[in-house]
Structure 1
Amino acid sequence: MKTALLVIDMQQGLFSTPPFELAQVIERINQLTTAARAAGQPVIWIMHEKPESPLAYQSPGWQLQPGLLREPSDREVRKTTPDSFLRTELQALLDAEQVKQLVICGYACEFCVDTTVRQAAARGYPVSLVADAHTTHDKPHATAAAIRAHENATLPNISSFGPRIQALNSADIHFNTAS
């Protein structure tokens, strides 16, 4: 079964201060992208953009965080909302690749990651949220660690979409070889 790895919003313009466990999250994402590619599974970088801002398309802030390993075979989807599906080419790309399930990681736990996980499940995809490879910044009401823990506990409890959402650590994510 074809599984796509979605890496959401790991962009320089979003990290004027480092989010929670940035170095560890980058290392885990690199391990995941390497494993997905080795299995012949698609790696898709979701890139947020906003004109006339640090996230303007192709600007320095729009670029991926240093240290992330991107390959020419990887795909890219541009978005303008927290939902990686809304007004993007993501669904068409997944259909073209015949993807049946998703692995999701990146930034920000409570916004773009959360929204994309929910939307993916609503569209019929079983989702593995990489519990230790999504991050955010501390907020006035909660630490980034608490926000990530909340998402890891909450999203797998949503059953009304039908497909299963699970939160697994990166070491427990395995990509089957694409046939």
Structure 2
Amino acid sequence: MKSTLLVIDVQQALFDETPRPFEADAVVERINTLTGRARAAGVPVVFIQHEASDLEYNSAGWQLQPGLQVKEGDAKLRKTTPDSFLRTELEALLASWRTEHVVICGYASEFCVDTTTRRAAALGYPVTLVSDAHTTHDKPHATGEQIRRHENATLPNIESFGPEIKAIATSEVRFAD
């Protein structure tokens, strides 16, 4: 099945300011492992960057986190909502690559990662949520670790979209062109 890897919102303002997201450095390392495997298999890599009034396009905070290994040929996509498909070219890109399956990682587990995962499934794409390569900040009601566990447990239980959503660790993700 032809896959595409989506790396959502791993940006300086979201990763490098204190307090940092849960396992921020480890998540970046895991994402680099995933992007390396994807490229080796000829699988497209898309870096998605959020913008808002406090995260302006092309500002220092809007830039990708410096630890990410971004290569020539990787796609970059701008978005303004938690849904990476809404008012973006993502769906057209996936169609042009004949994508049949998406692999999702990044930030924030309960917002952009969750929303994009649900939208991808609603559009007919089976989704692999990389269970240890998405993160978020602690919130008053739950830690970043608890939120990640919640998303990993909840999203795979959504069957009504049709396509399967599965949550697996970076070490288990395999790409085939």
The TM-score bracket by the shorter chain reads over 0.9
TM-score (norm 1): 0.96
Equivalent positions of 1:31-50 (< 5 A) are: 31-50=33-52
Q: Return the offset for 1:13.
A: 1.5
- Residues paired across the two proteins, number: 175
Q: Could you say what secondary structure the match of 1:37 adopts? A: helix
TM superposition shift of 1:59: 1.1
Whichever residue aligns with residue 11 of structure 1, its letter is: Q
Aligned to 1:20, which of 16, 19, 22? 22
Q: Give TM-score scaled by structure 2 length.
A: 0.97
Classify the secondary structure of the residue corresponding to 1:40: coil
Give the deviation of 1:171 after TM superposition. Answer: 0.3
1:4: Cα distance to partner?
Answer: 0.3
Q: Which residue of structure 1 aligns with residue 76 of structure 2? A: 76
3-state secondary structure, aligned to 2:106:
strand
1:170 aligns with 2:166: no
User: Which residue of structure 2 aligns with residue 97 of structure 1?
Assistant: 97
Gaps of 5+ in 1: none
Instruction: Report the alpha carbon displacement of residue 2 of structure 1 after superposing the two structures with TM.
Output: 1.3
Aligned partner letter, 1:173: V
Q: Deviations along 1:31-54, whole A, 9 cap, x unmatched?
A: 000000000000000110124x3x
Give the distance between the partners of 2:52 and 2:25, measured in 1 at CA.
25
String of CA shifts for 1:95-151, please: whole Å, max 9, x gaps. Answer: 111110000000000000000000000000000000000000000000110000000
Unaligned runs of 5+ in 2: none
Q: What residue number does 1:154 align with?
A: 154
Q: Paired residue for 1:122?
A: 122
Q: Secondary structure of the residue that 1:61 maps to in structure 2?
A: coil
Cα distance in structure 2, aligned partners of 1:14 and 1:171: 25
Matched residues, percent identical?
65
Give the AA of the match of 1:84.
S
2:137 and 2:66 map into 1 onto residues whose CA distance is 18
Return the letter of the residue paired with 1:32: L
Q: In structure 2, how many angstroms separate the alpha carbons of the residues matched to 1:116 and 1:41?
A: 19
Q: Distance in 1 between matches of 2:22 and 2:14?
A: 13
Distance 2:76 2:63 in 1: 12
Partner of 1:7: 7
